[in-house]
Copies of this chain bind each other. A is one copy, B any other.
């Protein structure tokens, strides 16, 4: 099959075959990162604009490297010091960027739906690099690529997603992707951080870490955002770390071949004990490496490969 969408906005809307196409493309892109000369001319003469309203050097850099290895021109448009700071609306900023003829706009924004808004307004491709607590599809895709690499397949696998489910676009995108690909998902965290009606997404809910991770193939630990630490949603950091942090002791009840994942950056000693973050089950750095490959695949499919591979 070929890629037909103009944009990549959510995991919720993707078909399993589309996810498979991105993952297969990413797997072949990953081979480029292993070369001494990491450069292919695929997107030469194409322009990618990183439009980031929230600071995220990590994700921005991943897209920037992905674009550059494909020979695209990459331009970083940060909201700080930009016309956004001068009161311009998101849509006006985006229309202005579009007038400069980019091929892809990668957008990170604090408001859910921001990427969708741009996608409707712009003729060029739009990639959602995180919109509020809504979705972050390339993160879910890099998670899936990492699991597939390590386990050889996805269907039938079970995943526990642990932490602040309520405010996590990573959790939301992961859940949509995993459910569609036939995986079983359990979400776990303190009641204040589990959204109501989350079961409607087809996931199980657990309120005990040991129970949630007891028999799963993958444990996905979420980052505890600093604002949650001070916002009254958890009694104290120490208590959160004790009940919801993954330590070597907690891990004793997990499978011997479990994968431990985290979208980064890690709060060491809070959601992950250092010996677990750096331990043998951790595939956190594989996730980062796969991030570049997934973003290369997405840029390639949106710009160059819209008809067929």
Contact = CB atoms under 8 A, between A and B. Distances in A.
Contacts of A68: 47, 73, 75
Nearest to A286: B99
Interface in A27-73: 33-39, 44-47, 49, 55-58, 61-62, 64-65, 68-69, 73
B96 A33 contact: no
A83 B101 contact: no
Contact of A100 (B34, B65, B95): B65
A161 to B, nearest CB: 20
Contacts of A87: 226, 265, 267
A65 to B, nearest CB: 5
A83 B265 contact: yes
A57 B81 contact: yes
Given A44-B39, A101-B38, A266-B88, A73 B69 contact: yes
A45 B38 contact: yes
Contacts of A47: 38, 65, 68-69
Interface in A89-127: 89, 92-93, 95-101
A91 to B, nearest CB: 10
Nearest to A93: B265
A2 interface: no
A198 interface: no
A88 B92 CA distance: 34
A237 to B, nearest CB: 11
Contacts of A55: 80-82, 85
A289 interface: yes
30 contacts: A33-B101, A35-B45, A37-B44, A37-B46, A38-B101, A55-B80, A55-B81, A55-B82, A55-B85, A57-B81, A57-B83, A58-B82, A58-B83, A61-B75, A61-B97, A65-B75, A69-B73, A83-B265, A86-B265, A87-B226, A88-B264, A88-B266, A92-B266, A92-B268, A95-B285, A96-B265, A100-B289, A100-B291, A100-B292, A101-B292
Interface of A: 33-39, 44-47, 49, 55-58, 61-62, 64-65, 68-69, 73, 75, 77-78, 80-83, 85-89, 92-93, 95-101, 226, 264-268, 285-286, 288-289, 291-292
